[in-house]
Structure 1
Amino acid sequence: MPHAGASGGLTPHDRWFVPLFGGTVLLAWVALGAWDLSPFAEYLRHDWTRLGLAAGLCSALPAGEVIGPALLYAGGWVLMTAAMMLPTTLPLVMVFRRMTRSRRDGGRLLALLFAGYLGAWFGFGIAAHLLGMLLLEAARASLWLTFNGWAIGAGILGAAGLFQFSRLKYRCLDGCRSPLPFVLARWKGQRPARESLGIGFAHGAYCVGCCWLLMLLMFVVGTGSLGWMLALGAVMALEKNSRWGRRLAAPLGVALLLAAAGVAVSAAGV
């Protein structure tokens, strides 16, 4: 008789795991909301210089003005990732759990899968922070950018729109949308800890490749905006998990290009 998990239905283990998974995601959203309402909201918005004592401590440490804000930024980014991106990984997680359910260390392997996934986004968070610093320095050094900051926002919107039509976008999106072959190609069970971490990191890298410019839109709409986090998270979840998600990429690209044009036209006063 086939295993209950092989049929695609929910097993008794799944019936408690899915609510637990959803509760974890909900907790991440609650944490973001509490952070946004706290006196430390500038950390989430990445404006660490307004935090007085904390900013002073960062400045007093060797390279603290770079390392401190980068770590705080990445920490906030990982929390955003847990809230926005973990829901999109549920198909992968369910496949992985069913393949490792008979193992006594299944829980540890699942934790390593999550660690690898979030690690990929942590690395992207650091890179995004450095990019933000470079853009800020460029704006400070350029008189034109100082008075035309809209150009950065329009540029990100336009780049995100064009990326929706790229081969890399669709290649990464297809990898995200096919969890079973993705896991089967990487899980041999010979070095389970390393393989679990690697599967999580590889899937996270595919998700970064698929969604990195959409995530950079947070620079345009405000990194502390919970409403935009929800909206972008929903769009990425639909792209990755719905039957018609692949067909959503092109219309979204058109919408982003129109938004970029709208920002430029509005700034020009036309």
Structure 2
Amino acid sequence: MDAPAGIARPARLRPGAARHRRVFLPLLVALVALAWVALWAWARSPYGRYLEHGDWLASGPAASLCRALPAGELLVPAMLYALAWILMTAAMMLPTTLPLFDVFDRMTARRPDHGRLLALLGLGYMAVWGVFGLLAHGLHELILALLARSPTLAWHGWLIGAATLALAGAFQFSRLKHRCLDKCRTPLGFVMAHWRGPAPARQAFALGAHHGLFCVGCCWALMLLMFAMGTGSLGWMLLLAALMAVEKNVPWGRRLSAPLGVALLGGAALLVVLHA
């Protein structure tokens, strides 16, 4: 049976799959290194404080906008945070989802709107991570408000870090983690199951968003570690990005979940021992 219009036959993907195995790891290293350099330069620029959210209202363009716009004290930090979060998630998650873009690129290569479909795929993927980032930002602000109102809780703030590490470690062993990880590790099957060709723009965006949901389901607990360690901590960002990329794309990556979970649980236990 012929493949639907605009979709290459699976057999044509095999040479590309071999090429992908040769190219992926060097490309992953290059992209992570580029993201590291860009974020390192940003962190040391006059606008480096925008990587964090506690200093946006102190001075500079953000403070001026907050004073000039209605509800600016709420809207401007949220917008700046969204931009910073999208950049960070793109730097961290793009290497983990390169196989999805690689498969979709080859499947739609004959279509005249090929470039637009790839852009919509990425837009749908990043939209899901953007929503997650706003929810995580709201949770973080709520915790900061609780710490500000409760001196006792602030004195024992290390408990929040230990709880975050323990949550991330325990989630590594959950059924949801492995179900979502399996979806992320089989991009060809995922695209074949969700891409039909009609209404291509809508389906490309929906495909990216659908894959983004599984990616969030797989990695949300690890991404929460960024809030415990500081969203401007570029070293931890690079380490987490590399771990998630290996877990999703390297043949033995699925076996990394359990040791990583044990390490995170051990870190939580160490924090308790040091502070108890």
Q: Scaled by the length of structure 2, what TM-score is found?
A: 0.88
**2:251 counterpart SS class:** coil
Partner residue, 2:46: 39
Partner residue, 2:6: none
CA distance in 2, matches of 1:33, 1:67: 26
CA distance in 2, matches of 1:135, 1:56: 27
CA distance in 1, matches of 2:237, 2:245: 12
Partner residue, 1:51: 59
CA distance in 1, matches of 2:214, 2:106: 22
Partner residue, 1:92: 100
Aligned-pair Cα RMSD in Å: 2.7
CA distance in 1, matches of 2:215, 2:118: 18
Which is worse superposed, 15-24 or 192-201? 15-24
Partner residue, 1:102: 110
CA distance in 2, matches of 1:107, 1:153: 42
CA distance in 1, matches of 2:118, 2:168: 32
Distance 1:252 1:196, change over 3 A: same
Partner residue, 1:160: 168
After the TM superposition, which residues 167-178 of structure 1 pair with which residues of structure 2 at under 5 Å, given as runs?
Answer: 167-178=175-186
**2:232 counterpart SS class:** coil
* 8 A Cα contact 1:59 1:65, kept in partner: yes
Partner residue, 1:132: 140
CA distance in 1, matches of 2:148, 2:240: 29
Partner residue, 2:257: 249
Which is worse superposed, 153-162 or 25-34? 25-34
Taking only the aligned residue pairs, the percentage that are identical comes to 59
CA distance in 2, matches of 1:213, 1:18: 25
The partner residue of 2:16 within 9, 12, 15 is 9
CA distance in 2, matches of 1:177, 1:11: 16
Gaps of 5+ in 2: 1-8
Q: Does 1:193 align with 2:201?
A: yes
CA distance in 1, matches of 2:272, 2:186: 38
Q: Does 1:224 align with 2:232?
A: yes
Distance 1:53 1:7, change over 3 A: closer
CA distance in 2, matches of 1:17, 1:63: 45
Q: Does 1:81 align with 2:89?
A: yes
CA distance in 2, matches of 1:106, 1:50: 45
Partner residue, 2:123: 115
* 8 A Cα contact 1:25 1:86, kept in partner: no
* 8 A Cα contact 1:176 1:240, kept in partner: yes
Distance 1:63 1:89, change over 3 A: same
Q: What amino acid does structure 1 have at the position aligned with 2:219?
A: C
Q: What amino acid does structure 2 have at the position aligned with 1:111?
A: A
Give CA deviations for 1:206-240 in whole Å, capped at 9, x if unaligned: 11111111011011222111111110001000110
**2:194 counterpart SS class:** coil
Give the number of aligned pairs: 267
Distance 1:21 1:238, change over 3 A: closer
* 8 A Cα contact 2:82 2:130, kept in partner: yes
* 8 A Cα contact 1:40 1:51, kept in partner: no
Distance 1:168 1:256, change over 3 A: same
Q: What amino acid does structure 2 have at the position aligned with 1:113?
A: L
**2:110 counterpart SS class:** coil
Q: Does 1:259 align with 2:267?
A: yes
Distance 1:156 1:10, change over 3 A: closer
